[in-house]
Structure 1
Amino acid sequence: MAKTGTPIESVDVCVVGAGPSGLSAALVFAKQGFSTALIAPEVNHADGRTTALLQASIDLLDQIGVWDGLVLKTAPLARMRMIDDTGRLVRAPEVTFDSVELELDAFGYNILNTDLNAALEDEISKSDNILYINEIASSFNLGSECALIETASGRVIEASLLIAADGRNSSVREAAGIDVRRWSYPQVALVLNLEHERPHHNISTEFHTPTGPFTLVPLPGRASSLVCVENTEGADRLRGLNKDDLALELERRAHSILGKFKVASKPQTFPLSGMNAKALTANRVALVGETAHVFPPIGAQGLNLSLRDVAALGRVAAEARSKGADIGAPEALSNYERERKTDIVTRTGAVDLLNRSLLTDLLPLQVARSAGLYLADKVTPLRKLLMREGMAPGTKARTSFRIKRPAWPKRLGAR
């Protein structure tokens, strides 16, 4: 740790990590009046991926003051369509979830991660309550009274609460002694953005294939983001194609529903894996985002789950402060763990089950998956329940949905 005599800078909260979860966490605590330090290298401005922001995430971004500046850079997801393209003996019916059934214009909005990160970073730069230290956090001393964090240059930060938002290989989590369970899949996600000749009509389409989902998510204009889940050999083959041949192959897999494709961003590949932390808290430490959970990019759940972590931790800290309690004490941390555990376990399990159901050749599992989608298509109360829970877990009524919309027509057509 730091040498004797090194000045200590004291804050209420220290966040380590500058992904969307870490940036959002810093803003949530700063907006609530907590003095906050953010320690991380440069914000990632080269991430070509997109995120479909669902209701709870939109609420959070609205509360921290960035949603108004982002909404016109997004594309609404008015309908979500699932198509069984496995070619197997037992196949599920096509299912379409329509936001109009919940009296909404959209389930959520798709945005480029670069735009989201830039907006969060810009809001942080305006805050007088955030000390942004553009360095690596090199060591941690987690005591019963406070957490001490030393940076690469030797600065020392003292905080009542240390938030680990430094990713799946978190150094904070390791210092806190929190173990994880990891697993892997025989799959790789190919991610890129496309332009196409036909309008998407704000419909997100997910083809279920034998190697995993092939998902097209609307972007502004005649463009969409793509997540194509393949086996390792298939992903390598796709990435080795030139842009024209890749566009033709992807159009074929999409059955030309959006017409001719043009590759609009550099293809990226990500081996699929999963991870769950065995605890969400330890001495003065709370995990959020991918320090706590990792799973395949299916069902628009990854970052949305992470931002629900951030929102819950902010609520727990505010409640502790209102009672005059220590925001990093065991009681507050246990309240956070209790609030988040069920959501994390159920979401991770559901995504894992859906992904594995596409890979299996076992007939009973194929029948079960098909029956489930059939019921979702035909049983209106079940379909509405799935839509509500997909957007905001635990929602009981339509009034819980408060998507702040841009000034465009209520029912959206071609863009």
Structure 2
Amino acid sequence: MAKRASAAKTDTPAAPTEVDAAVVGAGPSGMAMALLLARHGFRTALIAPEAMAGDDRTTALLESSVEMLRTLDLWEAIEPHTAALRHMRIVDGTGRLIRAPEVVFDASELELPAFGYNIANLDLNRELAKACAETPELLRIDSKLASLVTAGGHAELTTEAGDTVIARIAIGADGRKSMVREAAGIAVKDWRYPQSALVLTLEHGVPHHNHSTEFHTPSGPFTLVPLKGRKSSLVCVVSPEDAAYLADLDDAALGLELERRAASVLGKMTIVGKRQIYPLGGLTARTVADNRCALVGEAAHVFPPIGAQGLNLGLRDVAALGEMLVAARRRGEDIGASGALQAYERARRPDIATRTTAVDLLNRSLLSDLLPVQALRSVGLYLAGRVSPLRRLMMREGIAPMMARPRLMRGLSLR
């Protein structure tokens, strides 16, 4: 991979670099997007500072995302860092008048070895960055985007280090405050929840047996997801005040409190690493493509960490956009023109809208004291536990909607 390190500006600017696609943002979605395009013959630039080392979160890569990574020859390096998610258990811990029975989803019902695999973001980012470094067609520019202008049939991107990149399409994988989205003039719907997520890693005395357990509580989900060995990642969604209270406890007191909230399902808990708090909110872009720009991941959509949907939805963006661009090139079309962008918007809008709405409704149902809302949620979980066809449908659609599953997520080549 050609690599351009950040450098101080000089009086003589470097000549612009011309590429087919410029990807802005070096999180998992951005690196996966850049790798997909470069490995399919597009001259690709990946523009972003080096990934920060302080992210102790984890990601559950669902089966469809794993299939895409496998098709791109990335999974072999990633898999050793993961723990399989073979069972998903939902426990109603709301303590309310109407409660649902415990429901367990088993991957074997879908004839799968696992629903997905959980991995520390540090490990995932490291392996993707290594793959980027080993891809000759990929130019890595280690600098923050300073400006983006679209005119004359191309996008012109300038970095804070003084680099200029001319691209036929600019792809924003630069998160909730996306500069690419802003430059394209794409409006967003943005909202907040009265919740924060406390995120950390635990060691525990009882083996997890590859069970992911999600307690539904009146403040939001309390989710334990397996990691390698006797470790699990925790996402504890509570009020901002409760999150601050928990984060201020010493390790011993916090371990005891989390064990209590988890009903001791994993025995004694010991805190590993640092605690992180994230205020919760949601965002959807009016469109995922316009004005020679396309959006993937959190530049296009953000919602609470429920059901391992966030990054997996972003990777479906990546797979779908790659498919649309390869098809446009095969037809001899301009990959940044309206035809390819509109095809991407049509492909992604139903999936993004339904996923965002479903997660929003589930989260709000946990916060609601209204009996009809509690009854609907409880009846839905009851039927999922008792009606096998419905349970299998929910499991399949939870992994990825069949009607919106891109070719790469079905193990099919784009060539």
Query: TM-score normalised to the size of structure 2?
Result: 0.94
Structure 1 CA distance, aligned partners of 2:167 and 2:189? Answer: 28
Give the conservation status (yes or no) of the 8 Å contact 1:21–1:289.
yes
Match of 1:253 in 2: 261
Q: 2:66 aligns with which of 58, 67, 88?
A: 58
Match of 2:324 in 1: 316
Match of 1:375 in 2: 383
Give the conservation status (yes or no) of the 8 Å contact 2:63–2:114.
no
Match of 1:90 in 2: 98
Tell me the amino acid that sits aligned with residue 375 of structure 1.
L
Tell me the amino acid that sits aligned with residue 285 of structure 2.
A
Match of 1:363 in 2: 371
Give the conservation status (yes or no) of the 8 Å contact 2:90–2:104.
yes
> Runs of 5+ in structure 2 lacking a partner?
1-9
Tell me the amino acid that sits aligned with residue 64 of structure 1.
L
1:352 is aligned to 2:352: no
Match of 2:288 in 1: 280
Equivalent position SS for 2:241: helix
Tell me the amino acid that sits aligned with residue 321 of structure 2.
L
Give the drift of 1:401.
Answer: 8.3
Give the drift of 1:374.
Answer: 0.7
Tell me the alpha carbon deviations over residues 375-395 of structure 1, each in whole angstroms, 9 at most, x when there is no partner: 111111110000001112116
1:193 is aligned to 2:201: yes
1:161 is aligned to 2:205: no
Give the conservation status (yes or no) of the 8 Å contact 1:144–1:284.
no
Give the conservation status (yes or no) of the 8 Å contact 2:319–2:409.
no
Match of 2:18 in 1: 10
Give the drift of 1:402.
Answer: 7.2
Structure 2 CA distance, aligned partners of 1:254 and 1:144? Answer: 58
Structure 1 CA distance, aligned partners of 2:409 and 2:106? Answer: 15
Give the conservation status (yes or no) of the 8 Å contact 1:274–1:294.
yes
- Between 136-145 and 351-360, the greater mean CA deviation after superposition: 136-145
Match of 1:409 in 2: none
Q: 1:30 aligns with which of 34, 38, 52?
A: 38
**Moved >3 Å (runs of 4+):** 2-6, 400-403
Structure 2 CA distance, aligned partners of 1:391 and 1:358? Answer: 22
Tell me the alpha carbon deviations over residues 95-129 of structure 1, each in whole angstroms, 9 at most, x when there is no partner: 11011111111100000000000000000001110
Structure 1 CA distance, aligned partners of 2:283 and 2:410? Answer: 32
Tell me the alpha carbon deviations over residues 292-349 of structure 1, each in whole angstroms, 9 at most, x when there is no partner: 0000000000000000000000000000011111111100000000000000000000
- Between 51-60 and 74-83, the greater mean CA deviation after superposition: 51-60
1:205 is aligned to 2:185: no
1:387 is aligned to 2:395: yes
1:331 is aligned to 2:356: no
Give the drift of 1:5.
Answer: 7.7
Match of 1:173 in 2: 181
The alignment's C-alpha RMSD in Å is 1.8
Tell me the alpha carbon deviations over residues 359-415 of structure 1, each in whole angstroms, 9 at most, x when there is no partner: 000001001110111111111111000000111211699xx9879xxxxxxxxxxxx
Structure 2 CA distance, aligned partners of 1:59 and 1:49? Answer: 22
> Runs of 5+ in structure 1 lacking a partner?
404-415
Give the conservation status (yes or no) of the 8 Å contact 1:165–1:289.
yes
Match of 1:410 in 2: none
Equivalent position SS for 2:273: coil
Tell me the amino acid that sits aligned with residue 340 of structure 1.
R
Match of 1:129 in 2: 137
Give the conservation status (yes or no) of the 8 Å contact 1:86–1:210.
yes
Equivalent position SS for 1:327: coil
Give the drift of 1:63.
Answer: 2.6
Tell me the amino acid that sits aligned with residue 48 of structure 1.
D
Give the conservation status (yes or no) of the 8 Å contact 2:64–2:410.
no
Task: Give the number of aligned pairs.
Answer: 400
Match of 2:270 in 1: 262
Q: 1:31 to 1:260 in 2, by over 3 A?
A: same
Equivalent position SS for 1:266: strand
Give the conservation status (yes or no) of the 8 Å contact 2:63–2:115.
yes
Give the drift of 1:45.
Answer: 2.5
Query: TM-score normalised to the size of structure 1?
Result: 0.94
